[in-house]
């Protein structure tokens, strides 16, 4: 587990994830469901903010829409040499990803207060001790999958918002003070 003190930042750090009842978040590099409302929710929530993600998730987005998320700065965690367009930057460590998110928040997004952590599994796990907020789409399904959200101590988090929809819910948790 990551030492939270190594990941200190002035930014609010919020994970955004869609997770099934059985903890699954991905299968074969994709999400195991198609929920347009959730994609819209992700877009509205993250728009004009830095979004940190692992290389596999980044490549899944490139495959799906042909470019990094428009209107946001994607910070891609990878050990590989990656050519990125202007609205995406590469980071070699969680700490470097945070520093790049801070720079983007200040210089490109008008001083926004929040950076989003958008997966996948190891990236959520690495940032978990430093997260302030969880923006979770709870999907009422038990799909087969190969990627799961890491275990998190629910006693350490308080549910502050729940918006029930048909087959899923938009839920927010904040870390207990």
Q: Which C-beta is closer to ligand NAP: that of 18 or that of 105?
A: 18
Nearest-angstrom CA–CA distance, 141 and 143: 6
Nearest-angstrom CA–CA distance, 90 and 53: 10
Q: How far is the CB of 18 from ligand NAP (least distance, A)?
A: 4
Q: How far is the CB of 125 from ligand NAP (least distance, A)?
A: 9
Q: How far is the CB of 145 from ligand NAP (least distance, A)?
A: 8
CB-count exposure of residue 110 (10 Å: 0-12, 13-18, 19+): exposed
Among candidate residues 54, 55, 29, the one with its CA nearest the CA of residue 123: 54
The site for ligand NAP (CB under 6 A) is made up of: 17-18, 25-27, 29-31, 53-57, 60, 77-80, 92-94, 118-123, 126, 147
Nearest-angstrom CA–CA distance, 146 and 123: 15
Q: Which C-beta is closer to ligand NAP: that of 9 or that of 78?
A: 78
Q: How far is the CB of 172 from ligand NAP (least distance, A)?
A: 14
Give the start-end residues of each E strand in 4-81: 12-20, 24-26, 50-54, 73-77
Which position's Cβ is nearest ligand NAP? Answer: 120
Q: Which C-beta is closer to ligand NAP: that of 57 or that of 74?
A: 57
Q: Which C-beta is closer to ligand NAP: that of 59 or that of 110?
A: 59
Query: Are the CB atoms for 76 and 91 separated by under 8 Å?
Result: yes
Q: Which C-beta is closer to ligand NAP: that of 12 or that of 96?
A: 96
Query: Is the backbone of residue 122 left (phi > 0), alpha (psi -120 to 50) or beta?
Result: alpha
Q: How far is the CB of 164 from ligand NAP (least distance, A)?
A: 19
């Amino acid at each position: 587990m990551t030492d939270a003190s190594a990941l200190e930042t002035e930014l609010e750090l919020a994970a955004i994830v869609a997770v099934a009842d059985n903890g699954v978040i991905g299968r074969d590099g994709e999400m195991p469901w198609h929920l347009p409302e959730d994609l819209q929710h992700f877009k509205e929530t993250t728009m004009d903010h830095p979004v940190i993600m692992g290389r596999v998730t980044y490549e899944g987005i490139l495959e799906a829409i042909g470019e990094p998320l428009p209107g946001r700065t994607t910070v891609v965690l990878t050990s590989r040499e990656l050519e990125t367009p202007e609205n995406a930057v590469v980071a070699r460590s969680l700490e470097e990803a945070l520093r790049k998110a801070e720079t983007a928040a200040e210089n490109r997004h008008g001083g926004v207060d929040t950076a989003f952590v958008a997966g996948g599994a190891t990236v959520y796990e690495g940032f978990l001790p430093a997260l302030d907020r969880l923006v979770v789409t709870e999907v009422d399904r038990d799909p087969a999958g190969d990627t799961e959200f890491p275990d998190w101590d629910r006693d350490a988090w308080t549910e502050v918002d729940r918006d029930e929809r048909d087959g899923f819910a938009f839920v927010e948790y904040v870390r207990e003070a």
